[in-house]
């Protein structure tokens, strides 16, 4: 395993490939249970999908999530070391702050 990768938790985390195979089903599940889903590609967070009507409550929940905090810290460390990090991460952090 690459030292720069984080072992992701089970649960509301899906790969981009899995999302690609069942986008409609995943969106239906997200809307039904109101829980956000973190999307990863090659072990790195690339997006968070959350129902619009649950945005404020879910943003607060995500902001306090140890898994999300770990992912954000790892991306910040990569950026501090001059490694490429996605703009999506900055967008996600801003979205969480606005909560």
Q: Which residues of 46-66 are buried (b: 16+ CB within 10 A; e: fewer)?
A: bbbbbeeebeeebbebbeebe
- Domain-wise residue ranges, the chain: 13-98
Overall fold of domain 13-98: YefM-like fold (3.40.1620)
* Residue 9: band (very low, low, confident or very high) from pLDDT cuts 50, 70, 90: very low
To the question of pTM greater than 0.75 for the whole model, the response is no
Per-residue pLDDT reduced to its tens digit, 16-47:
999 999 999 988 988 888 778 888 898 888 88
């Amino acid at each position: 395993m690459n030292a720069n990768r984080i072992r992701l938790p089970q649960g509301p985390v899906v790969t981009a490939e899995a999302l690609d195979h069942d986008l409609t089903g995943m969106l239906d599940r997200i809307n039904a249970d109101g829980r956000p889903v973190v999307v990863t590609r090659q072990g790195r967070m690339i997006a968070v999908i959350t129902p619009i009507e649950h945005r404020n409550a879910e943003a607060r929940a995500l902001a306090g999530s140890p898994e999300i905090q770990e992912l954000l810290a790892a991306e910040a460390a990569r950026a501090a070391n001059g490694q490429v990090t996605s703009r999506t991460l900055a967008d996600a952090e801003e979205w969480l702050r606005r909560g």
